Structure 1
Amino acid sequence: MSLSPLDDFPIHQAPQVMRHVATSDRNFYDRYYFNCHPGTDELMLIVGLGQYPNLGVTDAFACARRTNLHRVVRASRELGSDRMDTTVGPFRIEVIEGLKRLRVILEPNEHGLAFDLTWTGTIPATLEPRHFVRWQERVVFDSVRLAQTGRWSGTIVVGDDEIPVDGWQGTRDRSWGIRPVGEPEPPGIQVKNPGTFYWLYAPMQFDDHAILCIIQEDHKGRRVLEEAVRVWSDGREEEYLGRPGYHPVYAPGTRDVVEATITFDKIEVRCTPILPVHLMVGTGYGLEPDWKHGMYQGGEPVVQGVTYTLPEDAGRMWGMVDAVGRFEYDGQVGHGLFEYWALGPHPSFT
């Protein structure tokens, strides 16, 4: 064991130095996620930065969808001993005021995407239900996450264009715990997994409140995880909305959602994805065999850029979709994240 600057703070949770987590599970992670958009189909920026203490790696990515352009910058380095150091190549995250204001930076680089943005939460950061999945004796997910809607200020540079950001919307989350990361493991008995991931995540921002909704179901339609709360900007307590229902409409012959309805006990929200971003393309969430979150990229820091255009590269665009969403209920119109994936068998497809 060796000390790090974090050990000087009274925050220990286990008889370990702070750079070591309390579990030896290789899949432990600790991650930031942000998205930023003007509530239109012009541009969506997604940013993530994670640490993987038991793999000794930290990495980051930024993905911008602008008209027909899908541009990614990603970076990785060895984690080292100081977990307070959130720089990864040209990326950096600064916590200005915990749970309220953060600064997210991608310094100018050769890959045509950069930004300097400040986040201000519009609702209190809200702890979501614990996500726990055991499959074939192995704990696959055991994590917690906070969610928050907010506003952005600063600038984004895409190619030669510098775009001012003033009051743009977005959502963020912070999650930590266990989920599959890093290099693939031998599947063993997990080969029996039917490979289903039926998922909806929809944090919605309205004028004076937000609705946070999660639905995950298994291959038999059983609920694995759900959330349905309304959180007010003035800090009032969460209001449970009842069991959420999800009714998507797919483009013919696909699992691409063109519209959806989310129902709660007393309200019904109409959802329209207006700018889809394929989160898993280039970012490390799972498609590229040579770049996954937590994957060791070697002893020297690595920075890469990946750019695709649509419709030419449409064949690459599959997997989890993070879309700018338009949400309407009871005469109110809001925007937020409409994140969905329908992979594998599910009763709705029989």
Structure 2
Amino acid sequence: MLSKGDDYPIHQTAEPVAYAGTDRNFYDRYFFNGYAPDGSGFFAIAFGVYPHLDVADAHFCAIRGGTQHCLHASRKLGMERMDLSCGPIRIEILEPLHKLRVVVEGEGISADLTFTGRAFPIEEPRFTWRVGPRTIMDYTRLTQNGHYQGWIEIDGRRESVASGTAGTRDRSWGVRPVGASDPQAAGGGIRQFFWQWTPVNLPSRSLFWHLNAHQDGTPWNTRAVIAPDGNGAEAFSEFEHSSMDAPPAPGTRWPQRGTLSFADERFEFEVLGRFQMRGLGYTSPKWNHGLDHGTLEVEREDIDLAAIDPARPDNLHVQLICRVTAATGEQGIGTFEQLAIGPYDPLGLQGLADPA
């Protein structure tokens, strides 16, 4: 099966590009978020390709007032991985690893947004996680902070993104749970998963930190990176040892605040707002990544953020918009993402989704 990708020198094996190994959970994904300098006007985009499931899906969300407006789309992939459109959402790669464009037009939601990177993307440590004999995750991710230009329109009300609007994009590819759940998962499936991620836009540099940890708090993947503007990987500073103090808000598993420390750096996270990741398909009962919706299905969803039940499993995954202040007084804006499934001893979390 030949596809457009076969005309580019990107092959990794003797197979055509349409074939991606043998694991049915292989995926290839884009993610973007953005926010104004004061933390308002949050928006996010996701686009995923699942070669062995022959599915592509995409999502766009924007918060206005207390409502998170979401647009979901899914289609048959047709084994063509170079087509970065899914119904009303498409991605254009204007300059690889530096500038990308997202265009949206459907169900009363429209947008035209161009992302420009501040520095070369960072390559995070390879994520490999096994439960018993089964490999649950095995993927690589690049992450990049940048600025946006463009506009978003919701139900006829168009607003230009504010001057200085910044955000983060990532690209990941490999294996993670996608599509219909495994009816015979080894060890009974995933019973515990803990993830935190804090991409931050500071005045002249970017901060990236993430943590995957076992129930007792022992990290299985973590690192902090400082990336000065306009530089490549040779100018980045990497730190393997760090600590995050982030107690949950009462009655939830969501962080109430955060203090991140590593080497001689310390950053305080003040929560300004909340974004529900299920709006991008993450843990969504209907729009979870890779589910088969047929030839093409498009749906709008409007989430009242004040009415969210924090103990419902599909509401555990959040990105918190934060004002971030360094010990030196340097101040920036970023997100604090968390997904805490099951028990996590350092925060006193018990059960599958019991609140703190």
**1:215–1:244 contact (8 Å) kept in structure 2:** no
Deviations 1:23-71 (A, max 9, x none): 2111100000000110334321110001000100000001222221021
Structure-to-structure mapping, 1:39-188, within 5 angstroms:
39-107=37-105, 109-110=106-107, 112-165=108-161, 166-188=163-185
Alignment-derived partner of residue 304 in structure 1: 299
SS at match of 1:249: coil
Unaligned runs of 5+ in 2: 349-356
Alignment-derived partner of residue 325 in structure 1: 322
**1:39–1:324 contact (8 Å) kept in structure 2:** no
**1:275–1:323 contact (8 Å) kept in structure 2:** yes
**2:72–2:287 contact (8 Å) kept in structure 1:** no
**1:42–1:67 contact (8 Å) kept in structure 2:** no
> What is the CA distance between 1:250 and its match in structure 2?
2.2
SS at match of 1:153: strand
> What is the CA distance between 1:241 and its match in structure 2?
3.3
**2:138–2:176 contact (8 Å) kept in structure 1:** yes
- Taking a change above 3 Å as real, the CA distance of residues 192 and 291 of structure 1, as seen in their structure-2 partners, is closer
Q: Aligned equivalents of 1:349 and 1:45: distance in 2?
A: 29
1:252 aligns with 2:247: no
**1:241–1:266 contact (8 Å) kept in structure 2:** no
- Taking a change above 3 Å as real, the CA distance of residues 287 and 10 of structure 1, as seen in their structure-2 partners, is closer
Q: TM-score normalized by structure 2?
A: 0.92
Alignment-derived partner of residue 11 in structure 2: 12
> What is the CA distance between 1:322 and its match in structure 2?
1.0
Deviations 1:266-299 (A, max 9, x none): 111101221110102x4321231x322111111x
Deviations 1:163-189 (A, max 9, x none): 112431100100000000001111443
Q: Aligned equivalents of 1:168 and 1:57: distance in 2?
A: 32
SS at match of 1:348: helix
**1:127–1:147 contact (8 Å) kept in structure 2:** yes
**2:272–2:320 contact (8 Å) kept in structure 1:** yes
Q: Aligned equivalents of 1:9 and 1:252: distance in 2?
A: 52
Alignment-derived partner of residue 353 in structure 2: none
Letter in 2 for 1:15: A
- Taking a change above 3 Å as real, the CA distance of residues 189 and 66 of structure 1, as seen in their structure-2 partners, is same
Q: Aligned equivalents of 1:62 and 1:192: distance in 2?
A: 29
Q: Aligned equivalents of 1:229 and 1:146: distance in 2?
A: 12
- Taking a change above 3 Å as real, the CA distance of residues 318 and 153 of structure 1, as seen in their structure-2 partners, is same
Q: TM-score normalized by structure 1?
A: 0.93
- Taking a change above 3 Å as real, the CA distance of residues 38 and 74 of structure 1, as seen in their structure-2 partners, is same
**2:27–2:173 contact (8 Å) kept in structure 1:** yes
**1:275–1:324 contact (8 Å) kept in structure 2:** yes
> What is the CA distance between 1:192 and its match in structure 2?
6.2
1:283 aligns with 2:245: no
Deviations 1:311-345 (A, max 9, x none): 23446672111122211111100112211123321
Letter in 1 for 2:336: F
- Among the aligned pairs, what percent are the same residue? 33
Q: Aligned equivalents of 1:13 and 1:258: distance in 2?
A: 44
Q: Aligned equivalents of 2:173 and 2:290: distance in 1?
A: 13
Alignment-derived partner of residue 207 in structure 2: 211
Alignment-derived partner of residue 32 in structure 2: 34
**1:201–1:215 contact (8 Å) kept in structure 2:** yes
**2:308–2:315 contact (8 Å) kept in structure 1:** no
- Taking a change above 3 Å as real, the CA distance of residues 223 and 242 of structure 1, as seen in their structure-2 partners, is closer
SS at match of 2:79: coil
SS at match of 2:81: coil
How many residue pairs align between the two structures?
342
> What is the CA distance between 1:263 and its match in structure 2?
0.7
Letter in 1 for 2:208: L
Letter in 1 for 2:334: G
Q: Aligned equivalents of 1:172 and 1:328: distance in 2?
A: 22
SS at match of 1:184: coil
> What is the CA distance between 1:205 and its match in structure 2?
1.1
